[in-house]
Amino acid sequence: MKLALFDLDGTLIDSETGIVQSIEYALGRLGATAPPRETLRGWIGPPLRATFPLVLGDDPARTEQAVAHYSERFTTIGWTEHTPYAGIDAVIDALAARGTRLAVVTTKVELHAGRIVQSLPFGAQFERVYAAAAGSTHSEKATMIARALSDFGVAPEHAAMVGDRHFDIEGARANGVRAIGVGWGFGSREELRDAGADAIATTPQELPALLS
């Protein structure tokens, strides 16, 4: 595989604490009751402007207030509340050592995504970070994957997308890229299978073989 694209949340890092607590903070500032933690885990992946209305209703102004409050906390502390998954560092280093080019494709906004990747012990191995546009209400995985293929000059059959949610798998399939799901993130194996994953890794150690 010449190019491996990795999702960030739920694939490279366990970011549940920072994201969920920032969501709870934002809803609390608006006097809204946050859903249970198990429900909020499902909010990790989609854009905030698509998930906040699930609680706030069809109210664009309140949704924007919630996004702003979320950013208050996430920008100051939430972005640091993550942990790389055990073993993923060795996988990234091994892929880079064998000549696989690496990039991150995430629905996080560019400001947060770039800072988080740079802070990772293995972050320098990623040549580019593709992040969501500010104000987006939709997953842009397919668009970002297409941009990565163009930027790296790699044909779809020589690339793979690795991620934990159906957005990752659907974005890969839309571009004819090998779609590899991971079983340690925030999505279920059923979600990944239903989206059409070509393979699902149970542990990070399985990824190099799936990306060979």
**Cα distance between residue 94 and residue 89, in whole Å:** 9
Please report how the helices 60-76 and 16-29 are oriented relative to each other, as an axis angle in degrees rounded to 10.
130
CA distance 198 to 22: 34
> What 8-state DSSP symbol labels residue 9?
B
CA distance 189 to 192: 5
Report d(CA 35, CA 26) in Å as an integer. 12
Q: What's the rounded Cα separation, in Å, for the pair 95 and 108?
A: 24
Q: Is 14 a catalytic residue?
A: no
For residues 18 and 206, give the distance between their C-alpha atoms in angstroms, rounded to a whole number.
27
Kindly state the helix (H) or strand (E) to which residue 132 belongs, with its residue range.
strand 128-132
Distance CA 145, CA 136 (A): 16
| 8 Å CB contact between 65 and 28 | no
Where in the sequence numbering do the catalytic residues fall? 7
